[in-house]
A and B are shown apart, each in its own frame.
Chain A
Amino acid sequence: MSTATKTRREAEETPRAVKRVGHRARAQRREAIVLVIPALLPIIIFSVIPLVSGVALGFTDATLGRNAEINFIGFGNFIELFGDNRFWGSFGIGVVWAGAVALLTLVCAMGLALLLNSDLRLKGLTRVLALIPWAMPPVVIAIVWRMIYNPNSGPLNGALEAVGIPGVNWLGDFSTALPAVIVVGVWAGIPQTTVLLLAGMQSISTEQHEAAAVDGAGAFRRFWHITLPGLRPIILAVTALDFIWQFNSFGLIYVLTEGGPGGRTMIPPLFTYLEAFRNREIGYASAMGDVLVIAILLILSLYLVNQFRQTKGARS
C-alpha cells in the first residue's frame, strides 16, 4: 500500500524521477518473479495441474489399472451419474450432515461464546477444554467417540443401563448413525467457531450495550438487537465456510463408520474415495468430484451474492 503512494509521489516530482521509477518498476517485477517462483512451482505442479486434470478426468473412462488406456468419453460419466441413486443419496446425506453440523455448531458456539464473554468464573478452564478438540487429530477424535458410542463397553450405554434404559448401537443402527456422527462433528467444530464469534463480540463496543441497558433493554433484547446484528458478517462467513468444509470432510466419518450402516452416513467425498480407490473407477469418481465442485461453487455464489447485497445496502 505505502509503496504505491511513494511511487506516485516520486512520479509527480520531476521527469527524471519518472524515468527512474520506470526502471525501478521493471527491477521490482524481476524481483517479484525471483521471490515467487520457489513457491509457485510446487503449487503449479502439485495443485493447479492436478486440479485441472481432475476436472478433465471426469470426461474419461480412466481406471486405476497400471497400464489401462484412458479414453475421452464426453459426458458419458455424467449421464450415468445422473441416474446413480447411490450418489444422489450420498449427496443428500452430505447436505444433511454439513447443514446440521454447521447450524448446531453455530448455535453451540454462540452460547459458549456468550458465556465466555460474560462475567462468570471457570472461564479459564472452559477455554482450555474448549480448545483441546481443535488440536486433536481427527482420527483420535473418531477413536474417542467410537469408544463412547460402543454398545458393549461405552459410557453412553453404561449410563443408560444404569437408569434402566436398554442400550443402543449408536453407530450401527440405521436411525441413530447419522445423528451420532453429527454430534461428533459439532463437538470437533465448536472451538474454531467459538473463537471467531468471541473475537467478533469483543469488537462490538460495550458502550452500545451499556446505553441500551440504561434504556432498560434486557439481556435478551440487547443480544437480539446489538450483538446479533453486529456479528452478522462473521456468522454468515463462518457458517458458509463451515458448511463447505463439512461437506468436503472425510477423516472423521471414515474412521467412525466408513459410511455405514447401509450407507446411512455415506457422504460424497467418502463415496467418491471408495469409487476411485476401491472400485478403481477413477474416471467416474472424478465426474463425481466435478459435480461436488459445481455444488460448492453454487453455495459460494449464493453467499457472495448475499455479501454483495449487504454491502450495497449499507452504502445506499
Chain B
Amino acid sequence: MTTRRPWYATALMYVALAGFLFFLGFPLLWLLSASFKSSGELNSLAVNLLPAEWDFSNYRSALERQNLLPAAGNSLLVSVATMVITVLLSMPMAYALARLKGRLRAAGTVWILTSQVFPSILIIIPLFLVLRSIQLNDTLFGLILVYVTFTLPFTLWMLQGYVAAIPTELEEAGEMDGASRMTILRTIILPLLAPGLVATAMFTFVSAWNEFFLALVLLQSPEFYTLPIALRSFLGAEGQMQLGPLAAGAILATIPSLIIFTLLQKKLTGGMLAGAVKG
C-alpha cells in the first residue's frame, strides 16, 4: 500500500498478528511438547511449553503397547488403494466432463455440487446395510470402496479443471495425424495432465488418511482399525488415558498428511497465496 500508516496502527496490526500466531500455533506446540513429556509432568497443571525432562519413550509406547503400528498399516493400505483406484476411475470421466458439453456435463456438475452438501449420515445408513448384505462391512476392502465413492466428486472436479486447461488444439493436431482417441489420450493428454494427477492423488490420499466417520461406522474389529479410529479408541476414559503416548500417536498420524499438504499447498490454492509472499 502506498499510504503511510500511523505507528499505532502498525503496532495494533502486529498485536493482532501475534494473537493469531498464538491462537493457531499454541495447540500444535502443546501437542508436540506433550509427546515428549513424562506422565508425571503431563498430569500437573504446570504450563511448560518445553518438557522439564525429555521423554522419548512415548513414541515407542504408542507404536508398541498401544498397537498403533498395525492401525498405521491399515491406514496406509486404505489410503494408497483409495488414491490409486480413485485416480484411475476419475481420469477418463474427468476428461469427458471437461471436453464434452450438454446434459452429461450439467448432470455431472450438479451431482458433484450436491454431494458436497448432503449429510453423509443419510447415505451411510443404507450403505452400511448394502455392505453388510454383501458381507463387506467390517472389511478394509469395503472401506476402500466407500472412500472411493466419497472422494470421487471432488477428484473429478479437480481433474476436469486440469483437463480444461489443456488447449484442444493439441488434440486436434493429433486427430489430423490420424491418431485414435485412446492414442491421443495416452500420448498427448496424459503427460500434460501428470502434475494435476499428482495433486489430485495426494489430495485423495490425505482425505482417506484423515477420514474418521465412515471408518467408525464400517469397522468393528480392532484389527481393522485405521489410525484415526485407533487413536480415538485409546482416548478411553478421561482419568486413565495415557496422555504421552496419545500425543505421540497424534503427532505420528499428522506427519504424513502434513508432508503431503506442504507439498500440495501451492497447487491446491493455485498461487492464491503467491501475492501474500511477495507482500
Interface residues, chain A, with chain B CB atoms under 8 Å away:
1-4, 6, 28, 31-32, 34-36, 38-40, 42-43, 45-51, 53-55, 57, 108, 111-112, 115-120, 122-127, 129-141, 143-148, 150, 152-155, 157-159, 161-162, 167, 187, 190, 195-196, 198-199, 202, 206, 209-210, 213, 219, 241, 244, 247-248, 250-251, 254-255, 268-269, 272-273, 276-277, 282, 285-286, 289-290, 292-293, 296, 300
List A contacts of B257 (CB < 8 A): 135-137
Q: Which of A28, A38, A296 contacts B89 (CB 8 A)?
A: A38
Name the interface residues of B145-167: CB closer than 8 Å to any CB of A. Answer: 145-146, 148-150, 152, 156
- Give the interface size bracket for B toward A: 35 or more
Q: How many A-B residue pairs have CB under 8 A?
A: 284
Residue pair A3, B116 in contact (C-beta under 8 Å): no
Q: Chain A residues with Cβ under 8 A from B247's Cβ?
A: 143, 147
The secondary-structure label for the interface of chain A is: helix
Contact with A along B198-230 (1 / 0, CB 8 A): 000000001001101100110000000001100
Residue pairs across A and B with Cβ atoms less than 8 A apart, 9 shown, are A31-B96, A36-B93, A47-B123, A118-B1, A135-B260, A152-B43, A153-B44, A190-B24, A250-B121
Q: How far is the CB of A33 from chain B (nearest CB, A)?
A: 9
Q: Does B106 reach chain A (CB closer than 8 Å)?
A: no
* Binary A-proximity of B227-257 (CB < 8 A = 1, otherwise 0): 1100110010010000100110010011001
Instruction: Give, as a whole number of angstroms, the nearest-CB distance from A144 to chain B.
Output: 5
Residue B275 is within 8 A (CB to CB) of chain A in the complex: yes
Instruction: Tell yes or no: B9 within 8 A of A by CB.
Output: yes
Beyond A137-B253, A190-B24, is A248–B120 a contact (Cβ under 8 Å)? yes
Interface residues of B (CB under 8 A from A): 1-3, 5, 9-10, 13-14, 16-17, 20-21, 23-28, 30-31, 34, 42-47, 88-90, 92-93, 95-96, 99-101, 104, 111, 115-130, 145-146, 148-150, 152, 156, 168-169, 172, 181, 206, 209-210, 212-213, 216-217, 227-228, 231-232, 235, 238, 243, 246-247, 250, 253-254, 257-258, 260-262, 265, 269, 272-273, 275-277, 279
Among A36, A46, A130, A293, residue most surrounded by chain B Cβ atoms (within 10 Å): A46
Task: Report how far A241 CA is from B26 CA in the complex, Å.
Answer: 28
Nearest CB of chain A from residue B213's CB, rounded to whole Å:
5
A133 CA to B27 CA, complexed, in Å: 10
A158 touches B276 (CB 8 A): no
Which residues in B have their C-beta under 8 angstroms from that of A147? 30-31, 34, 243, 247
